[in-house]
Structure 1
Amino acid sequence: MIYVYLKQRAYKKAEKFVRSKKNPELYFILGRELLERGLANRAITFLKNSMNTEANFSLGLAYYLKKDYEKAKHYFLSYHPPDELGKGKRDFWLFKTYLQLGNSEKALDYLKKASSYDNFYGAVSRKLLGLRVYKPVQFSSVEPPRLFPELYRIRELGFLSYMRYEAFRHEHLATTGDVLLISRIDPYTSIRLAVKKYGVKSEIYRVVSHPTPYENLVFEAAQKFEVPVPLIYAVMRQESLFDPYAVSSSGAKGLMQLIDSTARWKAKRLGLKIRSVFDPETNITLGTAYLAFLMDYWNGDLIRVIASYNAGHGAVSRWKRYEDDFLFIELIPYNETRNYVKRVLYNYYVYSEKLEKGL
């Protein structure tokens, strides 16, 4: 019932319903919804009655929005997340809060703490500190490949799905040499193998995590539509992990996960005939054309361009606007889009540095 009221924006009915149920989780759901609508005072009332682990962070945001930075600091300091993403988020917002309080020394301490995490918050913090986001890895030695010769033969015969099946069936045999070589013929499999066999903190994962496949197609589309190359790769990585045959639960297809209506719309505007939306050239061309449309629509506002690629520019146009881009990101009403924006921005920072240095 709570979601019915929220969808109807019947907040008074929602508040009455939540108070009648006295369920701490419902208090968080409503409090978060009110906060995302910019109703900080009403949000605080409900968030304070929640037991959700994210409640303190949301309370910190609510008081930050009210410019009550002392209380914002209190709640950010009371937020104890178990994972690195949450810790980076907490430390970054403590940096912003101490900055507003005029304590630049404390602010710098928390900015340095946030910079230690390999995620969106760490990347932004490193950029603010004038540090590199992407650190190149040089292997002293690479293990000889065991799987690649056979996988390569299968791929050359055109059996991509079977190649992937064999790679993951024998992942326990995979070496760093396999992961590196596979990245040349199928980045999707290479990245997934690196994660499953070695983990996201491994050197081999860092080497293969942000590849630049389809270079000729990407650079040609970037030049034609005046879209930054790092943005195309950042979106492509998040959308499909470079799987040209990816299909989402919502029916989005290919490298840049185009839904049929968007593909037809852009193809008609460009005078193109779509033979297959899974074709890399077609998909990259149409996806980049859509990014160009969003860049023009938002006058180059990268954050709203990225949010619109996921949620649609119509939805983003209805969201509350903030002068502080970080507040805008944290208060995106769709959880999926909020996380999407952070991941694509992280990818964008990495690709910007890699492509600038030719790494």
Structure 2
Amino acid sequence: MLKVQKYRVPVAVGAGLLFIALCGSSWFVLRQTGILENLGADSPQSELSLTQKDAQSLVLPLVSLSPQARAEQLMDIASGRQSLDQYRARYLLASDLIGQQQPEAALQWLEGLDAKYPQLASHIALKRAQAYTAMGDTANAEQAWQGILETYPSDPVAAHALYALGESNPEYWQQAIAQFPTHPRTLDIVRQKLQENPKQLNLLLHLAKSAYDTPGSGGIRDRLVNEYASGLQPQDWQTIAFGYWETREYDKAAKAYTKAPPTPENAYRVGRGYHLKGKRQEAKAGYQQLIRTFPDAKETGLGLRRLASLLPSQEAIPYLDQVVAKFPDEAPEALLTKANILEALGSSQSATQARQSVLTQYPNSDAAADYRWQVANQKAQAGNLAEAWQWAQPITTDSPDSAIAPEAAFWVGRWAMQLGRQEEATSAFEHVLAQYPESYYAWRSARFLGWDVGDFTTVRDVNPTLVLPKTRSRLPAGSDTLKELHLLGQNQDSWTLWQAEFENRQEPTVAEQFTDGVMRLGVGDNINGINQVWFLSQRETPEERRQWQALRAEPAYWYTLFPLPFFDSVVNWSGQRQLNPLLVIGLIRQESRFEPEIGSIAGARGLMQVMPGTGQWIADKIQLQEYDLNDPNDNVKLGTWYLDHTHQEYNNHSLFAVASYNAGPGNVAKWIRKYDTTDPDAFIEQIPFAETKGYVEAVFENYWNYLRLYNPEVNQLLRKYSKSQPGISP
């Protein structure tokens, strides 16, 4: 099982971004440290599963290695008999050699390959043209680019050719803009043209639509609004508003949505955008306009509830009554809100009736779960655990999809334990593992079932065996060429192709959104990649929910949500600090979502969000003369030192150490003096800072997910309970 001992790992050789399974990895390097093993396929066939031929491939397991590490094996395969593996080996060798400034050698491996490898024929032609260009062979390069236009005029690789040829003939650039509007080479053309002449409305709109979330896109939108408002059409405002919304400039989005085509969603976003930015009067006006213009729209029910939250109590009640009367999906929340208002106004009997209506009319709603949980906690705090159990238990059966359900199910088990009902407690903990295996409460339940997964006082020293996937999974969306490039680990090329293929950006399918998340992770856009996949949980239609649930059964889904970028640095510095690396990676995921240059409002920087003053204090302690908080290795070096320091401050109690990392040692010291620390689960419930309580649970939830995904023993144990647990084999 998991050995509880000081975690000592040799320094990993090599460097660079690690992302396993879907986006390349340093698997070979980490395997040399002795903590990683191979992953075997152990999941049912699905659209993400490899074909039998791919599963038996000798090339695909080499994708995660560096070009230097895989060169000899690829050459052996490439020199062998003709097969798909041979073609793949030749392509990878050529691509690697171009990247290593050896274009002449690359051309040898590309010779005649396009006829034998049709999946990548257009990209073989592209590699050939790139090789000639790198050699400075102008004549052959131009011939190769022209050949692409003649042979693959509609393929996105033609955008590369149009870009290259357009440097001497501007007509080619105009063709690229017209034919491949979202291709990265086309966007480069547009930007260059704007540098030459910034006042080109059509090109500004092109970037606003096709590159809404790239660096500098906010400035483009601002220019359009400030300089060209009179010339914009409603659909242009839709494009601008969507870009602002996606980049969380909600007040700007709200203003733009007022000029976009009138739809219920756009009208709702006017009010909500202002609401999120604290502009109460504008928000109220926006919601009222929604109600007047689209009185029966689905969005209006939520708009009425939002409007009620901005009004004095007496004025809010009529709007809540409208929700109850017309919008059953929003009615339970409206009834609870009304009950709280009535209670505050002294109408306790009416408040009780409203709450009872939630339980009787909408017993399966999130609102019913929230109310039951509120009462259960009140009973528990009063020492009446039997009644607390009775109030909480129905949540797990009546509202199993509620956000509160995993926590309620766990405490049903804890309260049963305290009442001496061990059989019921065990059943509750097993229910958490079966239904909510990804939750923080699954980790706590596993611990109470006696699993060796670390507890708050031992998790620092857990020494987990980790198993990484040998190969990538297939993509559920995109062309066959895209899927093949992805399997071969060609992250930048597959990302470029995906930009040309991904046209449905404002309303992507579930498969497209997941693919976009995977593609983003491949090029290091980690925060947006993870978010794209996480936001699939917000899909509402039954068919989309079915598709999302099907994805959740795939290992690739979870590997994308819980990737391992920079794990070589984490393993190195965790080993030197004698910290569990999965605890460190869990903290990094919560702090930065693996964005090396991210900064907080308070000034914290980098992967582990180290404050500059704290960084300098640590650097002085360890006599580090030069460092850069935006450098991943430096940041992890300093951050792990500080996490080790917080552990030492609290006698290696990881709950207090992690809480201190977020809230500071002063606050944690106060809480330890004020609250009973003998029951850590109860202590967490009493943390007065909602942010810190959520932070602690999120870090340990991350730790648990990395453990359940990459540790074979825990993985196999959990598979006995949960059908959605992806399988690995030791």
Q: 1:71 aligns with which of 387, 392, 408?
A: 387
Aligned partners of 1:68, 1:251: CA distance in 2, in Å?
45
Q: Where does residue 52 of structure 2 map in the other structure?
A: none
Q: Larger C-alpha radius of gyration, 1 or 2? A: 2
Contact 1:253 1:259 in 2 (8 A): yes
Alignment of 1:183 with 2:521, yes or no, is yes
Aligned partners of 1:132, 1:196: CA distance in 2, in Å?
32
> Counterparts of 1:251-266 in structure 2 under 5 Å?
251-266=603-618
Deviation of the 1:68 alpha carbon: 3.1
Q: How far does the alpha carbon of each residue in 1:315-347 deviate from its partner, in whole angstroms, 9 at most, with x for none?
A: 011012331111011111111111111111111
> Counterparts of 1:317-328 in structure 2 under 5 Å?
317-319=669-671, 320-328=675-683
Structure 2 residue identity aligned to 1:292:
D
Q: How far does the alpha carbon of each residue in 1:61-85 deviate from its partner, in whole angstroms, 9 at most, with x for none?
A: 4543554322332443476878543
> Counterparts of 1:85-234 in structure 2 under 5 Å?
85-115=403-433, 116-117=435-436, 118-129=438-449, 141-143=474-476, 144=480, 145=482, 152=492, 172=508, 174=512, 179-180=517-518, 182-186=520-524, 187-196=526-535, 202=552, 203=554, 204-234=556-586
The TM-score normalised by the length of structure 2 is 0.37
Contact 1:85 1:119 in 2 (8 A): no
Structure 1 residue identity aligned to 2:415:
T
Contact 2:491 2:523 in 1 (8 A): no
Q: 2:686 aligns with which of 331, 334, 348?
A: 331
Aligned partners of 1:242, 1:356: CA distance in 2, in Å?
21
Aligned partners of 1:132, 1:322: CA distance in 2, in Å?
22
> Counterparts of 1:285-324 in structure 2 under 5 Å?
285-319=637-671, 320-324=675-679
Aligned partners of 1:259, 1:82: CA distance in 2, in Å?
40
Q: Where does residue 83 of structure 2 map in the other structure?
A: none
Aligned with 1:273: secondary structure? coil
Deviation of the 1:26 alpha carbon: 12
Which structure ranks higher in relative contact order (CA pairs < 8 Å, sequence separation ≥ 6)?
2
Report the CA distance shift for 1:125/1:228 in structure 2 as closer, same or farther (over 3 A).
same
Aligned partners of 1:131, 1:301: CA distance in 2, in Å?
19
Q: Where does residue 44 of structure 1 map in the other structure?
A: none
> Counterparts of 1:273-284 in structure 2 under 5 Å?
273-284=625-636
Structure 2 residue identity aligned to 1:240:
S
Report the CA distance shift for 1:164/1:309 in structure 2 as closer, same or farther (over 3 A).
farther
Deviation of the 1:296 alpha carbon: 0.5
Aligned partners of 2:670, 2:386: CA distance in 1, in Å?
31
Mind listing any 5+ residue stretches in structure 1 that lack a counterpart? 1-22, 29-47, 156-161
CA RMSD across the alignment? 4.2
Structure 1 range deviating more: 74-83 or 279-288: 74-83
Contact 1:307 1:341 in 2 (8 A): yes
Report the CA distance shift for 1:182/1:281 in structure 2 as closer, same or farther (over 3 A).
same
Q: How far does the alpha carbon of each residue in 1:170-193 deviate from its partner, in whole angstroms, 9 at most, with x for none?
A: 654847666546534424343233
Deviation of the 1:234 alpha carbon: 0.5
Contact 2:413 2:426 in 1 (8 A): yes
Share of identical aligned residues, percent?
A: 25
Report the CA distance shift for 1:112/1:352 in structure 2 as closer, same or farther (over 3 A).
closer
Contact 2:440 2:704 in 1 (8 A): no
Aligned partners of 2:521, 2:625: CA distance in 1, in Å?
31
Aligned partners of 2:403, 2:443: CA distance in 1, in Å?
11
Contact 1:59 1:75 in 2 (8 A): yes
Aligned partners of 2:692, 2:499: CA distance in 1, in Å?
31
Deviation of the 1:289 alpha carbon: 0.7
Deviation of the 1:353 alpha carbon: 4.4
Report the CA distance shift for 1:77/1:194 in structure 2 as closer, same or farther (over 3 A).
closer
Number of aligned pairs? 313
Aligned partners of 1:245, 1:218: CA distance in 2, in Å?
17
Report the CA distance shift for 1:76/1:212 in structure 2 as closer, same or farther (over 3 A).
same
Report the CA distance shift for 1:294/1:122 in structure 2 as closer, same or farther (over 3 A).
same
Aligned partners of 2:497, 2:689: CA distance in 1, in Å?
36
Alignment of 1:245 with 2:583, yes or no, is no
Report the CA distance shift for 1:55/1:261 in structure 2 as closer, same or farther (over 3 A).
farther
Aligned partners of 1:303, 1:342: CA distance in 2, in Å?
9
Deviation of the 1:94 alpha carbon: 1.1
Contact 1:230 1:355 in 2 (8 A): no
Structure 1 residue identity aligned to 2:380:
Y
Deviation of the 1:221 alpha carbon: 0.8
Contact 2:440 2:700 in 1 (8 A): yes
Aligned partners of 1:290, 1:163: CA distance in 2, in Å?
42
Contact 2:372 2:392 in 1 (8 A): yes
Aligned with 1:85: secondary structure? coil
The TM-score normalised by the length of structure 1 is 0.71
Structure 1 residue identity aligned to 2:660:
S
Report the CA distance shift for 1:136/1:81 in structure 2 as closer, same or farther (over 3 A).
farther
Contact 1:85 1:121 in 2 (8 A): no
Alignment of 1:236 with 2:575, yes or no, is no
Contact 2:618 2:641 in 1 (8 A): yes
Structure 1 range deviating more: 298-307 or 55-64: 55-64
Aligned partners of 2:666, 2:491: CA distance in 1, in Å?
44
Deviation of the 1:351 alpha carbon: 2.4
Structure 1 range deviating more: 144-153 or 252-261: 144-153
Deviation of the 1:218 alpha carbon: 1.1
Aligned partners of 1:291, 1:298: CA distance in 2, in Å?
11
Aligned partners of 1:241, 1:168: CA distance in 2, in Å?
24
Q: Where does residue 376 of structure 2 map in the other structure?
A: 60
Report the CA distance shift for 1:353/1:74 in structure 2 as closer, same or farther (over 3 A).
closer
Aligned with 2:403: secondary structure? helix
Aligned partners of 1:216, 1:225: CA distance in 2, in Å?
14
Aligned partners of 2:700, 2:382: CA distance in 1, in Å?
27
